[in-house]
Amino acid sequence: MAVAGFAEDELEIESREGVLIVQGKKTPDDTERKYLYQGIAERNFERRFQLADYVRVTGATMDNGLLHIDLEREIPEAMKPRKINIGKNKLLEAEAADGA
């Protein structure tokens, strides 16, 4: 996420109830300035992202105005696919043993 113009202490990242919230809050600057051109707007923002099931935030880094948020998907053991071996029918084996 591009957050040029914001320092790390002006950003807040929160994960709550399956929603990732990223907020940027600029400290008010009462200095009056005259710009010929202002390329980056200095206003507060809030972005919300819906996280998929079993996804959690593991960390965040900021480099050259880009915010990187690390996500990890943790599927519970009960939800993971498992291989089922094909074997002989136990009922047929028992009938063969009784008939012999």
Which pLDDT does position 32 carry in this prediction? Answer: 79
Give the model's pLDDT for residue 59: 94
Tell me phi and psi for residue 10, to 5 degrees: -95, 0
CATH code of 34's domain: 2.60.40.790
Q: What SS3 class is residue 51? A: coil
Q: Is 3 domain-assigned?
A: no
Which pLDDT tens digits describe the chain residue by residue (100 residues)?
A: 988 888 899 999 999 999 999 999 987 777 777 877 776 667 889 999 999 999 999 999 999 889 999 999 988 888 888 888 888 766 666 666 665 5
Q: Is-above-0.75 flag for pTM?
A: no
Is the distance from CB of 10 to CB of 24 less than 8 angstroms? yes
Domain count, the chain: 1
Model pLDDT, residue 55: 92
The alpha carbon torsion through 90, 92, 94, 98 (nearest 10 deg) reads 180
Tell me 94's DSSP state: H
Q: How far apart are CA 39 and CA 44, in angstroms?
A: 16
Structural domain containing residue 72: 8-99
- Residue 40 domain flag: yes
Whether 77 is covered by a domain: the verdict is: yes
3 state DSSP class of 11: strand
Residue 1 lies in a domain: no
